[in-house]
Amino acid sequence: MVLRRLRTARVLVAGLLTAGLTVAAGPTATATAPPHGRTGPATGSAGCANPVPRTLGRLPGGFAVVRALGRPGISAGSSGGVPVYWTGTKVHRVPLPPGNLSGEVTAVNRHGLMVGTLHHPGTGATSAFSFRIGGSGVKLLPGGTAANDVNDSGVIAGVTTGAGSGRTGVLWKNNAVLRHLTVDGSTGEYGGAFTAVGINDAGTVIGGGSRYVGGEWVGVGLVWKAGPPGHARTLLPEAAPGEGYSSVAADISRTGRVVGHRLFTWGSPVHWDRPYTRPPAEAAVPPELGAEGYLTAISPNGRLTAGYAPNRWAGPGEESGAALVWPTGRPAIKLPRLHPLGTAEAHAVADDGRIGGYATGLPDPDEPETAYPVIWRCAAGG
């Protein structure tokens, strides 16, 4: 599994909420706020002592975020709208082909192999790429529209667009298609669009698709077991007619724990365990941040899970959104903000206790808040 990430909220990916594959760029606000003051364990505990934030270098302009963590000292993501990686705190552009491309790195393995997605200006087209530190430029993955994860064996999970078949999950290795993933479409219940968002070192793949239930399309989390090719298993529970919620898988540990969220009016952070025959367990959000929360990443060893609570309906005097880490079996811990008025999100976590994401600084009255790429060091990771 990759020592890293996101999948992101952003990425996308995972909540495929329509037959045409609606890829979420992050949780979408709704008109209804979640309740505050939910019961649950108190914030803070032994197991992640005094996490310390460290800001990294950033390119001029635009959003900056750490989405992937490799071996110690290596991280990756985006800054100024383009894919970047960091050695320590120094930021480096990923060398791109001509064309004013934008994009981001989504994952990096312990051998320094990075993957991500490029956006082509003016066309809406995207391309999947790989890049190795020290290389002269990116390699485009054949047929790929997004690359979302890479394991330590170099197998890349992502999305391809087939003729007349919509978007489908795909695996690559050595810049060639290794396997096209399948869902059971024999009953016509699944839409013709799904994606792969994560892969661990055992070869288990997770993703998301859309399923027609009770007259509406809902998103479902999917798991493809390692071994002989077969159809995906749906992560439970499956929505009953009229319920309308979606399940979103974001990341997977070495042992097969899948983290993500269930999305109805707002997101509830959850995780699924092998053999994926039971509904997920919910991870509690600190009461002062409301009920809404999202799990975005789990360390390969499964000891730390990262995510955030946006607290988008916070009123005067209430806390803004916070990056969170859940040590296994313990309550959530809020990661320090860069400024009391700022927000933060975590999108990557490594076995050594590093947690990557972003945090905003002091709001400028004339400009949007500036997002800084951040790595928090959590003493519980090792």
Tens digit of each residue's pLDDT (9 = 90 or more) over 80-109: 999 999 999 999 999 999 888 999 999 999
Tokens of residue 78, six digits: 């985006």
**Rounded Cα gap, residues 336 and 362, in angstroms:** 14
**Rounded Cα gap, residues 205 and 358, in angstroms:** 27
pLDDT digits (tens, 9 = 90+) for 189-205: 666 678 999 999 999 99
Statement: residue 305 has pLDDT above 60: yes
pLDDT digits (tens, 9 = 90+) for 140-152: 999 999 999 999 9
Mean pLDDT for 331-341 is 89
> Which residue from 224, 270, 225 is spatially nearest to 246, judged by alpha carbons?
270
**Rounded Cα gap, residues 43 and 319, in angstroms:** 14
pLDDT classification of 231: cutoffs 50, 70, 90: confident
Q: Across all residues in the chain, what is the average pLDDT?
A: 82
Give the start-end residues of each E strand in 151-286: 156-162, 166-173, 176-180, 190-199, 205-213, 216-224, 233-234, 246-252, 258-263, 267-272, 281-282
Statement: residue 8 has pLDDT above 90: no
pLDDT classification of 35: cutoffs 50, 70, 90: very low
The tokens 């969220």 sit on which residue?
261
Statement: residue 168 has pLDDT above 50: yes
**Rounded Cα gap, residues 70 and 88, in angstroms:** 11
Backbone φ and ψ for 41, nearest 5 degrees, come out as -60, 155
Q: Which residue has the higher pLDDT, 233 or 237?
A: 233
pLDDT classification of 49: cutoffs 50, 70, 90: confident
Cis preceding linkage at 98, omega within 30: no
Q: Which residue has the higher pLDDT, 6 or 141?
A: 141
Q: Looking at residue 47, what is its pLDDT? A: 58
Fold of 52-377: Neuraminidase (2.120.10)
**Rounded Cα gap, residues 351 and 28, in angstroms:** 30
Q: Looking at residue 107, what is its pLDDT? A: 98
Statement: residue 135 has pLDDT above 50: yes
Tokens of residue 208, six digits: 């998301």
**Rounded Cα gap, residues 69 and 2, in angstroms:** 8
Q: Looking at residue 339, what is its pLDDT? A: 83
Q: What single-letter amino acid sits at 222?
A: L
Statement: residue 325 has pLDDT above 60: yes
With beta carbons less than 8 A apart as the criterion, state whether 233 and 246 touch.
Answer: no
Q: Phi/psi zone of residue 276: left (φ > 0), alpha (ψ -120 to 50 degrees), beta?
A: left
Statement: residue 27 has pLDDT above 50: no
Statement: residue 139 has pLDDT above 90: yes
Statement: residue 187 has pLDDT above 60: no
Q: Looking at residue 246, what is its pLDDT? A: 86
Mean pLDDT for 257-285 is 92
Q: Where are the domains of the chain?
A: 52-377
Q: Looking at residue 163, what is its pLDDT? A: 55
**Rounded Cα gap, residues 145 and 118, in angstroms:** 8
